Structures are given as structure tokens and as C-alpha cells.
């Protein structure tokens, strides 16, 4: 939505231009008007203005002074100067400024309309952010590294499983130099003595330095992506380079190459950074869908390393990895964080899908250890209970069912209860949001009916009821089925008809009571809406009494 402000100290110009532009019904254009430079400044301090159509010569604050103030506060705002003077100096200054147009009042409304349409088109083109994209391209390497880290940290949560085509498209867009169809080896690093580094920034800097050294050495015979995991440790996802001999392309041979290379990296870290490191490798590559589980296996094995682990390069077998973590279907802590995020964000489909994924080993009878099943149940239950406590929903969701796993006849029945409880929470959220929206619109309508003679612009109403203007416009249309401006016009016409028929007020006084200070503006509005003038309507109404 764009917001256009018409500014002129002559009422007939301000009202006339506003009426002409309003009649065009340009989509998503909100019209505002001001009768002086100071009143225009009031608008500019209250909300974003995209286009200012203003006279140059005005008392107090003229158009050129207004331009300077706009440039300081809203540099993207476009200005169209409208003047009856053909003075060279102000015109020259105006046309030297980017985003400024100049029109003579004598050129008429068609020129004004065309200038507004051209300006809106320019604003649309600006939204394509060509300049920003150029800046992004100049920072591509840095952004790609950040994107790779974000992507794989997300993947370690278990997100992104599924279609190979989706993964292939992600790799292509993010320029990830790995093959989405081939398995991948994992290497996890550990910075020995890292707790002694005093600050978070220093720890991240140290981990990044190790990652960069590793990237340098690993590029010889592999394709790799290095990231910093959520614990602040460097890790790499590795595949053999297409150019190396077949002997080195198997997981076992590649693991041997990595062992030797990681020893070089350890020596480089000690020499260059003064830091000891340890690394853990699995000797066979993992499929992409098993990446989260593989990552958890290797973290567990690294935690259980022999001795103090200093400067160790530990290679583990897949069987050792599987046996080291009891219950291969045991979900990670990140899954529950993701579940909580879906619940808090109101993402019902994502929540129910993840809950189904977490509980599937129970329904499929692959998880048979009662302790693990209880841990899974209570982990999900605590996510739900925490939400219930924050939202004060104890009357709707009793805590007893969430905390009594042993009260269910079967494990599956317990997880059915969790799913039903979650569905209830989402239904309550939808009902609450609907009630709040209806209540807000009801209050807005009551305010409009009681203040028809005042400024009822979208910006003023949005500020009065603490909404963003664009959101208020959408919300009102959604709840009432009509645009806010149409509702205001209808309310003003109803009130005007009532006063014309029953009150002894003069027509210009009635106009003021329904928000039209200029008599000619009220007459034009009334006749356009009803087809007759206010006086004709009054005469007809009183003749029927």
C-alpha cells in the first residue's frame, strides 16, 4: 500500500485533487490531505508517506522547505510540486532533486493524474531492489558461507528430510558444492580448553579460525562444507572430489586420507593459533536423511573419547556409532525446540506433522524401552504445558493428563491424548484470534459513528487503535466485507440524511458534522453518492413527512 499526501493552503485545490484521485480507485493507494505545510509535517511525523503532492508557495512552511524536511525523514518519498507560479529559482531547485516532479496548476487534472500514476510505477520498480541485489552479489562469498551454515544447522535438526529433488534445488540455489544424491562423511572438531576463552565472540572467532584452516587443507582431495554447529564446534560435511582416483573414493580410503589431513590441521592449529584440537570421523558415509542421527552419534562418541582427548583424531565405525546411542529413534533436543516454535507460532500443520514423526516409533513399535517412551511423552507434554502456562489456559487444558503417563491404557493412547490436546490448543487460538478481530472492528465502527465530523483517515484510526495502517485495512475488509473508506462514507451519508431530514441545521453545518469543512466538498460528495444535492434531498424528505 502506498500513501499519498495532498498539500495546499487553498481548500478547493486540496479537496478537488483528493476527490479526483479518489474517484480513480487506484488499488492500494491511501489518500491523505493537509491544508498547510505545518499540517503536512504532522502527517509526516505520524506515518510513512510515499508521495507528497504539494504547492510550492505556502505560508509558514513552503513546499521547498517541506522538501528538505521530507528528504531528511523519508528519503524514499517522491514529491510532485504543483504551483501557479512560473518562478525560475524554485523550479530549478526542485528539478535538480531526485524523485521530484514539477507541474503547473494550469496544466489541469489529467496531468496531475498521469504524474501520480507515473510516480506509483517508479515506486513499484524500486521495490525490485536492483541496487540491493547488486550489493548482495558483491558480498556473495560471505553470504554463501553464512547460508551454508544456516542450512546445515537446520538440517541437523532433522528438517529438510524427504524429496531428493527439493534437496537438489536447495543445493543449487545455495551453491553448496556437494552432491545431493551421494552420501556424506562427517568430521566433528573440538577445541581443547575452549571454556577458558573468556567471551562468546572470542570462542566463535577461535572456532571459525579452525574451520578456515580445515577448509584450506581439505580442499585438496575433497568437496567439503565447513560450518560452526550450535555448540560452537567446527564440523565438515565431506565427499571425495570427482578428480581423485577410484582408490580414494570409497568411504574407508577417504577416512584414511582424512585422518592424515586432520593431523596436519591439528599441527597448523597449534602452530598458528596456539590451540589444541580433537577430531572425530565416522569411517563410512551417511545418507542425507540420516544426517541428524549421525551427528548425534558422533557427538556422543566424541564426548566418550578415551583419555583427555587432547590432539586426538578418532575414527569410529558405523556399528560403533549405532551401538553408542541406545534407541536409534530417540529424537534430539532440537526437535522439541522446533515443536515449541511451531506451537508458539500457530503453525498447526507443521506441529502435527512433527509430532507424528516423533511418535511414529511408538506407534510402529520400534521404540520398546519404557524409559525412552516416557521421556518422549513427557518431553512433548512439557512443550504443551509450557504453552498452556504462558497463555493461562489451565481451565481449558488440565495439567493432570499431561503429567500422568501411567494413567493411559497403552502408550499409543497416551500419544493420541497429546495430539488431541494440541488440536484443542490450535482451535482455541483460532477462536481467540477471531474474537479479538471482531471486537477490534466493533470498537473501530463505534468510534467512527461517534466521530464522523473528525479526521477518520486510515492513518489516524490505525494510530488510535494501535494497528499498522495496511493491516487495519486488510482486517476491516476481512471482518466486514467492505473497505474501511466505503464504510466511513456510508456512515457519513446515513448521518447526513438523518440531519437533513430532521434537523434545522444549515447545510454547511451538516457538512461539518460529517467531516466536510468546505461546503462545496460536502455537496459534491453527497450528490455523487445519492444522485441529488443536499438541498434537493432535504426538500423531498420534508415533503414526505
Helix residue ranges per DSSP H, 306-410:
318-324, 333-345, 348-363, 370-391, 399-402
Tell me the domain boundaries of the chain: 2-128, 146-324, 333-421, 451-543
For residues 276 and 197, give the distance between their C-alpha atoms in angstroms, rounded to a whole number: 13
Domain 146-324 classified CATH 3.40.50.1000? no
Helices (H) and strands (E) in the chain, counts: 23, 10
Q: Where are the alpha helices (DSSP H) in 189-290?
A: 200-218, 251-268
pTM, two decimals, is: 0.55
Assign residue 438 a region (left: φ > 0; alpha: ψ between -120 and 50; beta: otherwise). alpha
Contact 103/112 with Cβ under 8 angstroms?
yes
DSSP letters spanning 44-74: HHHS--SEEEEES--SSS-HHHHHHHHHHH-
Residue written as grid cell 473508506? 485
Is residue 36 within 8 A of residue 109, CB to CB? The reply is no
Sequence-separated contacts (24+) of 121-130 with Cβ below 8 Å = 122/78, 123/2, 123/50, 123/51, 123/78, 126/76
Contact 54, 8 (CB under 8 A): yes
Contacts of 123 (CB under 8 A, 6+ apart): 2, 50, 51, 78
Contacts of 213 (CB under 8 A, 6+ apart): 265, 268, 269, 272, 273
Please say whether the structural domain 2-128 has been given the CATH code 3.40.50.2300: yes
- DSSP 8-state code for residue 248: G
- 286 DSSP assignment: B
For domain 451-543, is the CATH number 3.30.420.40? no
What is the full per-residue pLDDT of the chain (545 aa) written as tens digits?
789 999 998 888 898 899 899 888 888 889 999 999 899 988 888 888 889 999 888 888 888 888 888 887 787 889 998 877 665 555 555 555 666 888 887 788 899 999 999 999 888 877 665 554 455 455 455 667 778 888 888 787 665 555 677 889 999 988 899 999 999 999 999 887 655 556 777 888 888 888 988 888 888 778 999 998 888 889 999 998 876 656 556 656 677 778 888 888 888 888 778 888 889 888 788 888 888 878 888 887 776 664 555 678 888 775 554 444 444 455 667 788 889 988 998 889 999 999 998 999 989 888 888 888 898 999 999 999 999 998 888 888 887 888 888 888 889 999 999 999 999 999 998 888 888 888 989 999 999 999 999 989 888 898 888 888 888 998 899 889 999 999 999 999 999 999 998 878 899 999 999 999 888 889 999 999 999 999 999 988 877 75
Amino acid at each position: 500500500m502506498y500513501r499519498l499526501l495532498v498539500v495546499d493552503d487553498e481548500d478547493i485545490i486540496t479537496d478537488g485533487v483528493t476527490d479526483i484521485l479518489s474517484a480513480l480507485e487506484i488499488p492500494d493507494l491511501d489518500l491523505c490531505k493537509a491544508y498547510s505545510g505545518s499540517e503536512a509535517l504532522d502527517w509526516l511525523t505520524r506515518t510513512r508517506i510515499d508521495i507528497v503532492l504539494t504547492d510550492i508557495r505556502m505560508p509558514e512552511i513552503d513546499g521547498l522547505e517541506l522538501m528538505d524536511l521530507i528528504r531528511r525523514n523519508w528519503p524514499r518519498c517522491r514529491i510532485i510540486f504543483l504551483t501557479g507560479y512560473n518562478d525560475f529559482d524554485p523550479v530549478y531547485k526542485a528539478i535538480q532533486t531526485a524523485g521530484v516532479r514539477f507541474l503547473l496548476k494550469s496544466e489541469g487534472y489529467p496531468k496531475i493524474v498521469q504524474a501520480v500514476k507515473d510516480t506509483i510505477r517508479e515506486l513499484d520498480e524500486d521495490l525490485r531492489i536492483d541496487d540491493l541485489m547488486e550489493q548482495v552479489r558483491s558480498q556473495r562469498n560471505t553470504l554463501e558461507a553464512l547460508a551454508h551454515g544456516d542450512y546445515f544447522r537446520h538440517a541437523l535438526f532433522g528438517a529438510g528430510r524427504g524429496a531428493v529433488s527439493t534437496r537438489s534445488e536447495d543445493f543449487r540455489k545455495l551453491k553448496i558444492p556437494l552432491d545431493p544424491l551421494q552420501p556424506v562423511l562427517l568430521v566433528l572438531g573440538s577445541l581443547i580448553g575452549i571454556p577458558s576463552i573468556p567471551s562468546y565472540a572470542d570462542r566463535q572467532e577461535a572456532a571459525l579460525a579452525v574451520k578456515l584452516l580445515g577448509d584450506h587443507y581439505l580442499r585438496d582431495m575433497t568437496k567439503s562444507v565447513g560450518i560452526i554447529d550450535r555448540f560452537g564446534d567446527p564440523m565438515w560435511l565431506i565427499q571425495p572430489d570427482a578428480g581423485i582416483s577410484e582408490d580414494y573414493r570409497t568411504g574407508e580410503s577417504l577416512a584414511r586420507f582424512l585422518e592424515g589431513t586432520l593431523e596436519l590441521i591439528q599441527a597448523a592449529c597449534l602452530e598458528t593459533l596456539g590451540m589444541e584440537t580433537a577430531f572425530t570421523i565416522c569411517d563410512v558415509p551417511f545418507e542425507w536423511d540420516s544426517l541428524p542421527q549421525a551427528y548425534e552419534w558422533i557427538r556422543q562418541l566424541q564426548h566418550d573419547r578415551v583419555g583427555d582427548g587432547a590432539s586426538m583424531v578418532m575414527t569410529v565405525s558405523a556399528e560403533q556409532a549405532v551401538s553408542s546411542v541406545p534407541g536409534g529413534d530417540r529424537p534430539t533436543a532440537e526437535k522439541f525446540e522446533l515443536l515449541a516454535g511451531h506451537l508458539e507460532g500457530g503453525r498447526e500443520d507443521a506441529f502435527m506433522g512433527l509430532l507424528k514423526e516423533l511418535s511414529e516409533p511408538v506407534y510402529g513399535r520400534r521404540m520398546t524401552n519404557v524409559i525412552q517412551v516416557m521421556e518422549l511423552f513427557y518431553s512433548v507434554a512439557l512443550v504443551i504445558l509450557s504453552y498452556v502456562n504462558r497463555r493461562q489456559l489451565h481451565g481449558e487444558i488440565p495439567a493432570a493428563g499431561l503429567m500422568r503417563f501411567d494413567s493411559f491404557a497403552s502408550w499409543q493412547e497416551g500419544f493420541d491424548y497429546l495430539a488431541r490436546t494440541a488440536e484443542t490448543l490450535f482451535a482455541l487460538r483460532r477462536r481467540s484470534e477471531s474474537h479479538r478481530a471482531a471486537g477490534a472492528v466493533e470498537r473501530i465502527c463505534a468510534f467512527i459513528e461517534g466521530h464522523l465530523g473528525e479526521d477518520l483517515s486510515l492513518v489516524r484510526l490505525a494510530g488510535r487503535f494501535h494497528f499498522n495502517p495496511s493491516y487495519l485495512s486488510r482486517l476491516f475488509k476481512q471482518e466486514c466485507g467492505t473497505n474501511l473508506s466505503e464504510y466511513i462514507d456510508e456512515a457519513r451519508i446515513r448521518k447526513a440524511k438523518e440531519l437533513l431530514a430532521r434537523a434545522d441545521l444549515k447545510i454547511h453545518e451538516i457538512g461539518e458534522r460529517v467531516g466536510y469543512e468546505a461546503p462545496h466538498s460536502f455537496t459534491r460528495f453527497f450528490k455523487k453518492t445519492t444522485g441529488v444535492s443536499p438541498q434537493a434531498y432535504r426538500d423531498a424528505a420534508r415533503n414526505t413527512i
